[in-house]
Amino acid sequence: MRAFRAVLAIAALAVVFSAAATSAEEGPPSSCCGTLFANDSEATEHMIEHHGKEGCADCGTLFETQQQKVQHAVEHHGKKGCVSCAKLFENDEEAAEHARGHGPTS
């Protein structure tokens, strides 16, 4: 009987959790920890702050590494990346001016 009650309790929690995750007031849960968010931007901020993800400033897409984020920004948003530190810029002139701050390259 205890096992049956445990199964019912788990099923009830699953239904409640599923309903909360799909309600208009709450967004989907974090894929890492199950935390619920009011909107996508809160979920993205959480993934960056608490799970070490890198987020695209233009579209919010999440990446495992900064290198993946930079590659995405260059390919999909036309950004220019610094080869020394991977900082992103809107155009070649901004990137070149920034690169001079790193000093001469060998």
Tell me how far apart the terminal alpha carbons of the chain are, to the nearest angstrom: 74
DSSP class of residue 70 equals H
pLDDT, tens digit, for every residue of 44-85? 788 888 888 888 888 888 888 888 988 999 999 999 988 788
Q: Residue 54 burial (CB < 10 Å; 0-12/13-18/19+)?
A: middle
Element (H, E) at 47: helix 40-51
Instruction: List the domain boundaries for the chain.
Output: 1-51, 53-106
Q: Residue 78 burial (CB < 10 Å; 0-12/13-18/19+)?
A: exposed
The CATH code of the domain at 53-106 is 3.30.160
- Cβ atoms of 55 and 62 within 8 Å: the answer is yes
- pLDDT averaged over the chain? 75
pTM above 0.75, yes or no: no
